[in-house]
Structure 1
């Protein structure tokens, strides 16, 4: 059985945040190391050029010495609502074995808060299933909670 050509193979985490998109944007762009990976893991920014075509390279360090290196490139950066990146390329459009396209969206809810959506789209069902088995839902859920903590601090809440 082959994967449907129009399938998104998407995993997503959605939340309502009690802060405006501008606070989420500032937390995302200026405080990445505070929320990017579930604690006690830490984030090191290697290269971060937030524009379409710019490098998006972070390394995550685990408390037991584990390392997860994530070089990639930004595909879309639309302040203050949408950030899209992929690891299918590194800076300079160098192809590498792809795993996903990450999409973060912050939509104004009209009442001072935001709808937050973080999605990972994969090239095929096998990659999506692998990501789900790695703990996508829990991990990206924790990251959403950590991002909200930072955004609330920025918004003064």
Structure 2
């Protein structure tokens, strides 16, 4: 049994969820797997200069969030509007029966895999839009660097890892 906020999907589970093909729900899942963003953030976003911009109104911390746009994420966009989150998850669970898990566990899985790939914690935290991460307090007041270059490198490394995993070469 998994404790609250402790579930991380194993490699075979990631592959099974990735293989599930029922758009647009499955596209949202892939976006969350590849970026670590909350699934609801994809309801409102814009693409500007090879980045994805999430407005403050759609963010938990009410601060605009920008992440680099990778090739696979670009190919999954635009995401069609979707409202049947509970029905989508129930359908997924019928086709991909995994031990109890939530869609939010994909965020934790993303963060855990980033750590295993030696992606610096402050970069992962920036991708996840964690304002209380490793750059917080006084550091956050003075450090206004956007980390887009580092986030792009991290997301490309992560994306390559997921593609290798799906292909069975990882």
TM-score by length of 1: 0.29
Structure with more of its chain in helix, by fraction: 2
Structure with more of its chain in strand, by fraction: 1
TM-score by length of 2: 0.28
